[in-house]
C-alpha cells in the first residue's frame, strides 16, 4: 500500500504579520494587494482579519459596554493582537477553545430561551450577548456545541398554520358527509383561494429556539403587520366544471412609482374639484332664492317640528 501524502500545512502568522494585514486593510488595500505585500494566501489573510476583528469586538464590548456589532478601530484591533494572550494570536498556534463549566452551559441554555425575544435571536447573537452580560467570553464554536449538545435545543422555523386537533378532523368529515348528497342532487359548491407573491423579499418566518420534544405550535409567531405583496392571484373553481376553461380569476400587481404618483395626482384633482363644489354649495345656501337655501330652510323647519 503506497504511503498517503499529507496536505501541506499553511505557515503560521505571527503578531506583526496580523498587525500588517489589519493596517493595510484599513489603508484601503484589497486582499490580493495584501497577499502580495505580506506574502500569504488571500484566504489566509481574510481569515486572520475576520478572526482578530471579531476578537477585538468581543474585548471592547466587554470592557466599554458597547454593542457587539460595532466596528472596531485600528487601535482596538492592534490592542487585541497584543493583549489576547489566552488565544495566543502572536504565534497563532492551533488548538481547541477553552472549556466552560457545567453551570455556564446551563446558564447559556437558559439565556437562549428565557424570553420570546431570546428565542427569536440567532445563536451567534445569543452567545455574544451572553458573553457581554455575564463577562465570560465564549467562542462561537463552544457556544454552538453547548446549545446543541445532546440535542437539547433545536432552532427551526415554527409552523405558520393553525394546530388542528381531532375535533377539526371530525367536523371536516361531517362537512363532507353533508356535501356529498347535495352534489349528487346537482347543487354547486364554489371553492376559492388566493396566493400572494413577493419578489423583493422572502416571506419565510425566522427560526425559533425551543427544547427538543416540545410542541412546535406553541412557538408560532404572528405574521408581519406590513405585508406588501408584489402579485396577488385569486381564483375560484366549481365541482363538475372544466377547470381549464372556467374562472373567474383575478390578478393584482403592485403599482410602480410612476403609477402611484399619477394616481395620487388624479385623486388630488378630484378632491380639489369636490372641495370647490362644496364651497359653492355653502355660498349658495346663504343666498335666498336658491335651491340650496330652500333645502336648508326645509330641514330647519323639520327639526323644529
Closest CA to 55 of 88, 10, 29, 17: 88
Q: Which residue has the higher pLDDT, 203 or 209?
A: 209
Q: How many residues does the chain have?
A: 305
pLDDT > 80? residue 142: yes
C-beta separation of 183 from 189 below 8 A: yes
Q: Residues 224-280: pLDDT tens digits? A: 655 566 778 888 777 766 656 556 677 777 777 888 888 889 999 999 999 998 888
Residue 93, C-beta contacts closer than 8 angstroms, at least 6 positions apart: 12
Question: For residue 1, what pLDDT is reported?
Answer: 43
pLDDT number for residue 228: 62
- What element of type H or E holds 232? strand 231-238
pLDDT at 203: 63
Closest CA to 196 of 252, 158, 247, 237: 252
Decide: pTM greater than 0.85.
no
More confident residue, 270 or 98: 270
- Quickly count: other Cβ atoms within 10 Å of residue 235's Cβ: 16
pLDDT at 88 (0 to 100): 42
Mean pLDDT of the chain: 76
Percentage above 70 pLDDT, the chain: 77
The yes-or-no verdict on residue 305 having pLDDT over 80 is: no
Amino acid at each position: 500500500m503506497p504511503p498517503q501524502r499529507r496536505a501541506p500545512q499553511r505557515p503560521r502568522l505571527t503578531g506583526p504579520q496580523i498587525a500588517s494585514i489589519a493596517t493595510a486593510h484599513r489603508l484601503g488595500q484589497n486582499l490580493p494587494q495584501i497577499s502580495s505585500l505580506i506574502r500569504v494566501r488571500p484566504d489566509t489573510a481574510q481569515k486572520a482579519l475576520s478572526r482578530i476583528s471579531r476578537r477585538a469586538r468581543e474585548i471592547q464590548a466587554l470592557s466599554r459596554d458597547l454593542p457587539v456589532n460595532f466596528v472596531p478601530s485600528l487601535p482596538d484591533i492592534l490592542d487585541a493582537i497584543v493583549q489576547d494572550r489566552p488565544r495566543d494570536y502572536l504565534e497563532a498556534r492551533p488548538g481547541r477553545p477553552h472549556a466552560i463549566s457545567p453551570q455556564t452551559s446551563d446558564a447559556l441554555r437558559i439565556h437562549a430561551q428565557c424570553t420570546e425575544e431570546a428565542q427569536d435571536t440567532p445563536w451567534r447573537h445569543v452567545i455574544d450577548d451572553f458573553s457581554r452580560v455575564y463577562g465570560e467570553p465564549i467562542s462561537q464554536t463552544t457556544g454552538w456545541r453547548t446549545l446543541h449538545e445532546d440535542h437539547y435545543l433545536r432552532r427551526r422555523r415554527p409552523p405558520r398554520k393553525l394546530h388542528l386537533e381531532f375535533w377539526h378532523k371530525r367536523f371536516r368529515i361531517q362537512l363532507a358527509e353533508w356535501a356529498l348528497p347535495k352534489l349528487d342532487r346537482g347543487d354547486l359548491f364554489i371553492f376559492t383561494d388566493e396566493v400572494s407573491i413577493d419578489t423583493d423579499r422572502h416571506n419565510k418566518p425566522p427560526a425559533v429556539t425551543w427544547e427538543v420534544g416540545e410542541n412546535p405550535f406553541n412557538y408560532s409567531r404572528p405574521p408581519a403587520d406590513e405585508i406588501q405583496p408584489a402579485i396577488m392571484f385569486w381564483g375560484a373553481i366549481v365541482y363538475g366544471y372544466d377547470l381549464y376553461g372556467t374562472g373567474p380569476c383575478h390578478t393584482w400587481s403592485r403599482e410602480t412609482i410612476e403609477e402611484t404618483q399619477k394616481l395620487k395626482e388624479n385623486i388630488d384633482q378630484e378632491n380639489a374639484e369636490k372641495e370647490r363644489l362644496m364651497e359653492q354649495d355653502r355660498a349658495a345656501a346663504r343666498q335666498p332664492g336658491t335651491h340650496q337655501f330652500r333645502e336648508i330652510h326645509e330641514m330647519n323647519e323639520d327639526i323644529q317640528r
